[in-house]
Structure 1
Amino acid sequence: MDILHITILTLSLMIMFGGLAGIVLPIIPSTPLIWVGVLIYAVCDGFKSISWSLVLIFGVLTILSVILDYFGGVIGAKKYGATKWGLIGSVIGGIAGFFMGGIIGLVFGPFFGAVLFELIFGKDFRSSLKSGIGTLVGFLGGAIAKLVIGVIIIGIFIWKVF
């Protein structure tokens, strides 16, 4: 490996691990950043270690992780019996929570939004709370799925390169 190859590999790994940090830090686009790191290395390497098909598979996994991340809370809330008002509340709560409290707000904003909207629009406290818990479960499930997908992509990348 020459110095250029080592530099590109180092840069790609830094981008990928930065993306992995994005699973916890919502400002960083996690798995899309991991995929960009793979793509940069693959292009610079002439697709010798990482093939086009593997880049495409990683792209599909990236899209899946983004979908799970964005809709995880909504899916969880729906599974736990949320109405359309609870779903709307969870989205509004997530947006408000992000701007008001960073990562803590991003996690608990959808919960409070779902509970609040369910209460406002006629559900009893117990059912409203259940909808909020569903939002949390879905959010955490999406985050775990994103983490697993990110680790798998990085693991396969390292295995193929070395």
Structure 2
Amino acid sequence: MVLVAWIVAIVFFVVAFLGLIYPIIPSVLFIIGGFLLYGLLDTFSQMGWLFWTIQVLFTVLLFGADTIANLFGIKRFDGSNAGGWGSTIGLLVGPFVIPVAGILIGPFIGAVLAELLVTRSGFKQSLKSGVGSLIGFLTSVIVKAVIMIVMIAIFIFFVT
């Protein structure tokens, strides 16, 4: 049964990493789901209160990393809140409209359009905000990947 528990956990972890490319997939839920299913299929005995406390803290960090990195990128390039919202909408819609490349193009176009339509910024400033959103998104992907790797490493440390 231990082998089945590991296989299920690994499948959930792989799906979580796919969430970095397709943000509609809730990565953190698949990470936690992998932990829970492993515990149900094998045992929760190695995953005590310390393990869950650490994982909850990293989960909060994961949620915050996405928002903070995106807003930081846009603000750093003098974008507005509208650019942030446009980037977020583009991030969710982009991969479905333009498969694969939409994950990068969507946030950029969303931020540029939002700046142009809502704040009536000039084209140059709108492009600058779009670049900021792209940099913020790429930064958040890297930060989230590192946090997820650390969460999985902690899991492996506790259960082995």
Runs of 4+ in 1 over 6 A off after TM superposition: none
Q: TM-score, normalised by structure 1?
A: 0.81
Alignment-mate amino acid for residue 154 of structure 2: I
Please give the residue correspondences for 1:11-160 in structure 2 after superposition, counting only pairs within 5 Å. 11-70=8-67, 72-120=69-117, 121-160=119-158
Aligned-residue CA RMSD in angstroms? 2.3
**Contact 2:51-2:158 at 8 Å conserved across structures:** no
Report how far residue 156 of structure 1 moved. Answer: 1.9
Residue deviations 1:48-86 (CA, integer Å, cap 9, x gap): 322232123212212321332255323321222112332
Residue deviations 1:10-33 (CA, integer Å, cap 9, x gap): 322222233223222334322321
Could you list the runs of 5+ residues in structure 1 that have no partner in the other structure? Answer: none
| Distance of aligned partners of 1:98 and 1:71 in 2 relative to their CA distance in 1, 3 Å threshold | farther
Could you list the runs of 5+ residues in structure 2 that have no partner in the other structure? Answer: none
Alignment-mate amino acid for residue 79 of structure 1: R
Q: Which moved more, 1:86-95 or 1:138-147?
A: 86-95
How many residues are paired up? 159
**Contact 1:77-1:134 at 8 Å conserved across structures:** yes
Please name the residue that 1:8 is paired with: 5
